[in-house]
Amino acid sequence: GQSFRASNSPVDLEELLREMMTGKGTLGGGVGGSSFRPKPSSYTRPLQCSLEELFGGATKKLKVDLGGSSKVYKIKLKPGWKEGTKVKFAATRNLPAITFVVKEKKHALFQRRGDDLFYRYRLEKPSRQTPLHLDIMLLDGTKWSRSIPISYLRAGQSLTIPDHGMPIKGGPERGNLIIEFYDD
């Protein structure tokens, strides 16, 4: 299994930066037993973002506190940003340059593939005469609803709904919502 680390608070980032600055982290390891470790000129840190934040855009604030110097970094996420997007801040008098790299948190219902959103729907074993009524709450809080004759659906099929996926480069264009049907 995978291990997940809760990181909604800025404490993880502060601790990582503190370890890097004091040489207790992975950056250290002086040559020949020397205790001299030059301060790095820049840092790269993950920026954990929910799919909702990457869908609608958001402002995130991260406080960095190093050696008595602290700074709150304000990061404006644009709709449609992808994992790997970098946000760079120049060095200040007291703090080195820092680059935040967007990391997408796993979502309970949707999986993002490029600009498309995938939603897995489990087919029960209902009577073949009844229509299947789909109610899907989208990332922007709106609901997408349709009735589909169940006789048309089989496990392994998918239904593509255009323009209901992730924003493409800030919008207004959007990718597709793709509903994948499965059974046991």
The per-residue pLDDT for 50 is 97
pTM: 0.72
Tens of pLDDT, residues 68-100: 788 899 999 999 999 999 999 998 888 889 999
| Residue the block writes with tokens 């073949």 | 128
N-terminal to C-terminal alpha carbon distance within the chain: 22
The per-residue pLDDT of the chain, averaged, comes to 80
pLDDT category at 7 given cuts 50, 70, 90 is very low
The per-residue pLDDT for 149 is 83
With a cut of 80, say whether residue 103 has pLDDT above it: yes
Strands 86-89 and 42-49: unpaired
The single-letter DSSP state of residue 116 is E
* % of the chain residues with pLDDT over 70: 73
The per-residue pLDDT for 11 is 43
The per-residue pLDDT for 35 is 53
Pairwise pLDDT comparison (171 vs 26), residue with the higher score: 171
